[in-house]
Amino acid sequence: MQTLPLSHYLPILSTIISAAFAATIYQRYRLRGHQGNHLLWWTLGIITYGMGTFAESYITLFGLNDFILKFWYIVGALLGGAPLAQGTIWLLLKPRTARILTWALVIAVVVAAIPVMLSPVDLSVLPSANLPSGKALGWQWVRSFSPFINTYAVIFLIGGAIISAVRYRRVMSLPGANSELARDRFLGNVLIAIGAVMPAIGGTLTRFGYTEALYIGELFGLMLIWLGYWFNIRHRQITQSRPSES
């Protein structure tokens, strides 16, 4: 049996953390109801995140096959942080704009996922049976979809966190109890932005054969996003005129 580096087993831990994190956000969504559409999308985003790391865990433990490779590519390399970004869109933008962008994302994902599912697979081109890569897809042109969807995720997820952090940084300078809440929200959004960048960097490195970098980025990125989320909600009882909420 092949001995794998410890980094190959990190997705197992990421999957467990994703399940707990998704349950936490969903519980908050149930309390908010229809006013928490962003929470529903964040729940879906963390579930998708966990599905990607679950596929990586399976590959580590049992090796690659055609189905698991395509499943990993769709939920991990293709979708990436897009559902999380959609949650930020529902939080920061008007409902009508959010609905339009939601349909645009769904259509783009479907259009990209269909050729991935139909593509032939050649696992022999990969250096290891325990490391996934889009290089095994016979139709290499299908990989051109993922940069567009991932860029969409970067703009709205990371960009939204940065914009919120800047707004709360301004509130921090004002006197009163709200400055304490703003400090938490500022730190929370900074952590979310950094956490979202880490898997994106790892995903880019996978295109050059460094899949282990993705596993590390996914784990630490997920933990930073959860920590940032916690900072954003821990002082909900303080009332303020806020630029955004979690």
Q: Would you state the pLDDT for residue 78?
A: 87
Phi-psi region of 224 (alpha: psi -120 to 50; beta: other; left: phi over 0): alpha
Contact 63, 1 (CB under 8 A): no
Residue 207 pLDDT: 66
In this prediction, residue 53 carries a pLDDT of 95
Query: Confidence band (pLDDT; 50, 70, 90) for 46?
Result: very high
Asked if residue 21 has pLDDT above 80, the reply is yes
3-state DSSP assignment of residue 147: helix
- The second-level CATH assignment, the architecture, of 6-233 is Up-down Bundle (1.20)
Whether the pLDDT of residue 33 is over 80: the answer is no
176: phi > 0 → left, psi -120 to 50 → alpha, else beta; which? left
* Residue 214 pLDDT class (50, 70, 90 cuts): confident
CA distances to 8, 53, 106, 218 from 19, rounded to whole Å, are: 19, 11, 23, 14
Q: What is the pLDDT of residues 116-148, one digit of tens each?
A: 999 999 999 988 888 888 889 999 999 999 888
Amino acid residing at 74: I
- Residue recorded with tokens 């960097």: 201
Which letter does DSSP use for residue 129 in this model?
Answer: T
Q: Where are the domains of the chain?
A: 6-233
pLDDT > 70 in the chain, percent: 90
Cβ atoms within 10 Å, residue 241: 6
Residue 167 is predicted with a pLDDT of 87
CA dist., res. 142 & res. 85, Å (int) = 22
pLDDT interval class at 236 (50, 70, 90): low
Residue 98 has pLDDT above 60, yes or no: yes
Residue 241 in this model has a pLDDT that exceeds 70: no
- CA 26, CA 14: separation in Å to the nearest integer? 18
Q: What's the gap between Cα 244 and its chain centre? A: 20
- Chain centroid offset of residue 109 CA: 15
Residue 34 pLDDT? 67
Hey, which bits of the chain come out as E strands?
none
State residue 191's pLDDT score: 95
Among residues 27, 41, 47, the alpha carbon closest in space to that of 87 is found at: 41
